[in-house]
Amino acid sequence: MKKYWILLLLVLGSALPLSAHVINYELDKMSGNTVFWKYMLIGFEHIIPLGFDHILFITCVFFLNSDLKKVIIQASMFTLAHSITLGLAMYGIINPPSNIIEPLIALSIVFLAIENMVSASVRPWRLVMVFLFGMVHGMGFAGALSQMGMPQYAFATALISFNIGVEIGQLSIILLLYFLVSSQFSKFIWYRKRVVIPVSVVISLVASYWTIERIFFV
């Protein structure tokens, strides 16, 4: 178990200075198929390796329940929610200010991490929380896409493929955590005490740091 903790602490520690949503690409005239694959890759990269805050959010979603099906359902709710606000923002219907959205994204991670510490099972309001926080994260995704631009001749294609890439990134994290951690240790009586709660504590501290940083120093 020690090797898992050492790896976790190294990864989380390296995340402190990271700034999420920094993606810059030059847009060229591309075919529809090229746009699809290009933006799907961008969506995936926005989770792995660039979206450390989103990785921690999905990690919080994962650790409250060892049932893979229920975790994927929660992640799908998250995807549905962020797809809605991402689409609204990219079509100019809403214009969320990043100085508000970025701290809220960090704060959403704090809330889920704390819930993991105080609750031993998924409550009905969990899906509501994940959905609402997903809408906030979608506004953050919109900030990333706004920085790099969108091809007007294939706007819908780029938007859909970006969301697909994000979902693939999220599922990759869930499956990785499942096979490396949950499938091996979740049946032990010490799993919650020695894995879920300590991991949630570390995540809450990192996300709290981000919240303060994004409110006062960004």
Task: Give the residue-averaged pLDDT of 14-35.
Answer: 52
pLDDT tens profile 27-75: 556 666 888 999 999 999 999 988 899 999 999 999 988 788 889 888 8
Is residue 189 situated within a structural domain? yes
pTM of the model: 0.82
Residue 96 is predicted with a pLDDT of: 82
Query: 190: burial class by Cβ within 10 Å (0-12, 13-18, 19+)?
Result: exposed
**Structural domain of residue 108, as residue ranges?**
32-216
Is residue 20 situated within a structural domain? no
pLDDT tens profile 124-173: 788 888 999 999 999 988 877 777 777 777 888 888 999 999 999 999 99
Could you count the other beta carbons within 10 Å of the beta carbon of residue 124? Answer: 6
182 close to 95: Cβ distance less than 8 angstroms: no
Is residue 144 situated within a structural domain? yes
Is residue 94 situated within a structural domain? yes
Is residue 13 situated within a structural domain? no
Is residue 60 situated within a structural domain? yes
Overall number of domains in the chain: 1
Is residue 11 situated within a structural domain? no
Is residue 47 situated within a structural domain? yes
